[in-house]
Amino acid sequence: MNLTQPNLAPPSPEKGCPTTPIIPAITFLLGIVAAYLVFRQQISAIEGWARNDLERWKLECTSDIRKDSVNRSRSTLKGRISGQMAPLLPEFPFSSADARFIGNPIDFVVFDGYTLVKDEKGDTISVVLVEVKKGKGRLTREEGLIKKAVCAEREGTKADGDRNERVKIF
């Protein structure tokens, strides 16, 4: 029997053994791939939950959204109809014969006193812009700008070559 001591020295590179820096690099790359796959799986799960929540929300809220849309449409139509009928109502402060329906951007132009002048019972006419609102109705942005222009008695400008001439809008 031969009792010799085992060789505990590390293998030398010239004998064809793999070098140690390759193993950590491969391990690092495998770790990155594994982390990417786990991350992708989590993102897919979150996307699935979001899709399910969206579909559930659509099913729960679609009928409410449609009802709200129909109610708003009815309200708009009622407003338009009542706007056209306003001169016929007893609360309308002007003579219905003096009112001219325009519809957009304002409901009426009232030539207050026109009928009296026409019948030779008056001698003044005032022009009034009327927007009929009911309930919680508010002026639109455009209607508000028209009101502001009328209240300020704003004059328009007409460009004429190099100079501006003031032209009264009436």
pLDDT in tens, 121-168: 988 888 888 888 777 778 888 888 888 888 776 555 443 444 344 443
- Decide if 13 is inside a domain: no
Residue 111 φ then ψ, to 5°? -95, 80
Alpha helices in 1-154 (DSSP H): 22-85, 114-118, 141-151
Mean pLDDT computed over every residue of the chain: 79
Q: Is the pLDDT of residue 15 over 50?
A: yes
Specify the residue for token string 């009296």.
Answer: 116
- Decide if 29 is inside a domain: yes
Q: What domain range includes position 95?
A: 21-136
pLDDT top residue among 10 and 115? 115
Q: What is the pLDDT of residues 28-39, one digit of tens each?
A: 999 999 999 999
- Decide if 144 is inside a domain: yes
pLDDT at 153 (0 to 100) = 65
pLDDT at 132 (0 to 100) = 81
**Do 155 and 101 share a structural domain?**
no
**Do 148 and 98 share a structural domain?**
no
Helix-strand-coil percent breakdown of the chain, rounded to 5?
A: 50, 15, 35
**Do 83 and 46 share a structural domain?**
yes
Percentage of residues of the chain with pLDDT beyond 90: 21
- Decide if 3 is inside a domain: no
Count the domains in the chain: 2
Determine the length of the chain. Answer: 170
- Decide if 84 is inside a domain: yes
CA distances from 58 to 45, 47, 64, 68, 81 (A): 20, 16, 10, 15, 34
**Do 159 and 75 share a structural domain?**
no
**Do 120 and 166 share a structural domain?**
no
pLDDT at 86 (0 to 100) = 80
- Decide if 9 is inside a domain: no
Q: Is the pLDDT of residue 41 over 90?
A: yes
pLDDT at 104 (0 to 100) = 82
Region 77-81 average pLDDT = 77
**Do 150 and 119 share a structural domain?**
no
Q: What is the pLDDT of residues 83-95, one digit of tens each?
A: 777 888 888 888 8
